Amino acid sequence: MAAFLAPTPSVAATTALSGLDTKHVAAAPGSKVAKARATAEDFESMFLNSMFQQMFANVGEGPFSGGQGATIWRSFLTDEYAKSFVKAGGIGIADEVQRALLAHQEAA
């Protein structure tokens, strides 16, 4: 007895079915989609950096806090944490910002 295999949809068909969901589609560098994705990821990174700065604001304070150098180093650390979170998939903000940017461009 032969097994039934359902055809798998192409990437273009999957994207067309999901509206403006272009997260998993490779966009040509410099295209509207690539620029919107980069802008959305930058926005999510800035948001996460702000959250991480608040989270680490009072960490390490006390007699051995490290002073001004530790404060500057901590800002670099939170920035790298934010970038690594976004690179690993983020928390979903970039997806929504990208959809909004592309929808706004389509309306204009």
Mean pLDDT of the chain: 78
Q: How many CA atoms lie within 13 A of 60 on its CB side?
A: 13
Task: State the pTM of this model.
Answer: 0.68
What are 55-100's pLDDT values in tens digits?
988 776 666 667 777 778 888 999 999 999 999 999 999 999 999 9
Task: Name the nearest CA neighbour of 77 among 46, 53, 42.
Answer: 53
Secondary-structure percent of the chain, ordered helix, strand, coil, rounded to 5: 60, 0, 40
Is pLDDT at 4 greater than 60 in this prediction? no
